Each structure stands twice: as C-alpha cells, then as structure tokens.
Amino acid sequence: MRATFNRTGGVRHMFAALDLASGQMFYRFRDRKRWQEFLGFLRQVRARFPVGKLYVVCDNFSPHKKTEVTQWCQANGVELVFTPSNASWLNWIESEFTALRYFTLDSSDYPSHAAQETAIAGYVRWHNKHAKPKLRFAVGSKIRRPDYLPNVA
C-alpha cells in the first residue's frame, strides 16, 4: 500500500461464512456493518442452507448480539456461537481471511471498490473450486471441553 493511501471513497465491509462440510466460502459486501446488514447476511446464509440447525461462529461484535438478530436466529434454527475475546484463532474462517488478504490485498492499490471486490471475488472463486472439507479440527484438544480452564480464584 502506498504511503499516500487514503480512503476517499469510504470503506466496504465483507461478511463471510465458511461451510466446513465443503470448505467453500460465501460472502457479501456491504457499505455498513450494523445489525441490519448482519441479519441480512444471516438470512442469505439460511437460504443457502435451508435445512438443519445452522451454527454460525462470530466474534463478540455488538451487532451480532442485537435482540432482533438473536430472536430471528432462535426462530430460524440458527445458533450463534461466540468466540472468547482475543481468541479469533478459534474461528476457522480467520485462516481463510489470512490467505485472502495475502493473495488480494497485500501490496495492492486498487483504483476503486469495484476493482478490489473483483479481485476478492476471483480469489474466492479459485478457493471454492479447490476447496476441501474441513476435517478433524481440534480433535482431542482441550478447547472442545468446557472444563479445560484451571480452577483459580
């Protein structure tokens, strides 16, 4: 990124989900990152996976916990699973974001949001074409058990 970089066109936000069964990513760009946009994204994910319980791993960003979002989730078979603070590494999609950043954003200087989104879309298409199911995540790890933290006062 050049030293004179500035965001004269504002910023864009990317909502994304990772299907562990296929390893494929699903995403949407939005101008804002409020609870309304998050709920809209959840609706799109639910439409993509219409049957069965859907588990969505999120960070503790306040729009994820908005009453309207949690009520919709309860009514539509979606369970939000929150990672502990400073533990984003527990969310598998974070490693996918690292690769996406490396291949599309590092050392980039896109002339517009559209050009940047086109590059990201190209990477996601390539990723999804080569995706493999995410298997054996944290098998036998202490993080799968709720009693792994030491009992200290």
Question: What pLDDT score was predicted for residue 151?
Answer: 56
From the candidate CATH numbers 3.30.420.10, 3.30.930.10, 3.90.1150.10, 3.40.50.720, the one assigned to the domain spanning 13-144: 3.30.420.10
Q: What is the pTM of this model?
A: 0.79
Query: Residue 20: helix, strand or coil by DSSP?
Result: coil
Query: Residue 103: helix, strand or coil by DSSP?
Result: helix
DSSP-derived secondary structure letter, 33: -
* CA nearest neighbour of 89 among 138, 133, 139: 138
CA dist 29 and 13 (Å) reads: 6
Per-residue pLDDT of the chain (153 residues; tens, 9 = 90+): 555 556 667 788 999 999 988 999 999 999 999 999 999 999 999 999 999 999 999 988 899 999 999 999 999 999 998 888 887 777 888 888 889 999 998 888 888 889 999 999 999 999 999 999 888 766 666 555 555 555 555
Q: What are the structural domain ranges in the chain?
A: 13-144
Neighbours of 50 (CB within 10 A): 9
- CA 15, 68, 60 angle in degrees (round to 5)? 50
